[in-house]
Amino acid sequence: MRLTRLNQLWVLIFLTAFSTCIQYALQGALATDAEIAAFPKLLWTADYVAWAGRALIEAWVLAYVFTTIYHTNAHRILITFVEIVLLTLIAVTLGPTFYAIGSGQKMYEALSAEGFWFWNFGIASYPSIMMAATGIAYRIMPEDRVARVDEDIGRQQAIAKMLRLADPKTIEWLAEHFKVSESTIITDIAALGESVETAKGGKVQLVDF
């Protein structure tokens, strides 16, 4: 199975949901005054693995968004805004973490009350923003453009071979064979430096420009 942009979107959704399940369970328990000692060590190990997995998801999302090809000015502005939001989110969540580690303090000690609240808000919004960014990128570029270009080139090369062999196929037959519209076939033939006239019986006559 080819990993299309749609397939990547679903994989990212699944991995994000899977990686946050354990973290949400722990956070929910801690928020209701559960005893940390009562949690099995395996659960903490799974939490660490989930955080590591989030790092891989983050890199994948960035690659997905930054490789999105836009065709309108509105899409350019939107995808640029999404890219800035993602980079800012990474900076405001990882920066304080590295500062706390470097200073040998816990997060609530290294940051002010407002800064600690803001940091927690950033961590909590991480999955939602990542998935929203991926969804926006998919809506702007739903198809794999490289694959589509390869498909177009392959079709045009096949048509060019038919032209060299002077194979009198009809435009209708070519369109049905390649599963595209007749106008696409005409455009392909024109792109190959030929002009097309449909004669009696629907045969394709090729005339050099």
The pLDDT, as a whole number, for residue 116 is: 86
Residues 1 and 20: their CA atoms lie apart, in Å, by 27
Are the C-beta atoms of residues 8 and 46 closer than 8 Å to each other?
Answer: no
The CATH code of domain 146-208 reads 1.10.10.10
What are 124's two structure tokens? 């909590």
The pLDDT, as a whole number, for residue 6 is: 87
The pLDDT, as a whole number, for residue 157 is: 65
The pLDDT, as a whole number, for residue 83 is: 93
Are the C-beta atoms of residues 185 and 156 closer than 8 Å to each other?
Answer: no
The pLDDT, as a whole number, for residue 185 is: 72
The pLDDT, as a whole number, for residue 87 is: 92
Q: Which of 159, 196, 164, 208 is nearest to 180 (CA)?
A: 159
The pLDDT, as a whole number, for residue 100 is: 87
Are the C-beta atoms of residues 141 and 69 closer than 8 Å to each other?
Answer: yes
The tens place of each residue's pLDDT in the chain, 209 residues long, gives 567 888 899 999 998 888 888 778 777 777 777 777 777 788 888 888 888 888 889 899 999 999 898 878 888 999 999 999 999 988 888 888 888 888 888 888 888 888 888 888 888 888 889 999 999 999 988 876 544 545 555 666 666 655 554 444 566 767 777 777 777 777 776 666 555 544 334 444 443 33
Are the C-beta atoms of residues 61 and 134 closer than 8 Å to each other?
Answer: yes
Residues 20 and 18: their CA atoms lie apart, in Å, by 6
Q: Which of 57, 189, 174 is nearest to 127 (CA)?
A: 57
The pLDDT, as a whole number, for residue 209 is: 32
CB-CB neighbours of 179 under 10 Å? 8
The distance from CA 59 to its chain's CA centroid, rounded to whole angstroms, is: 11
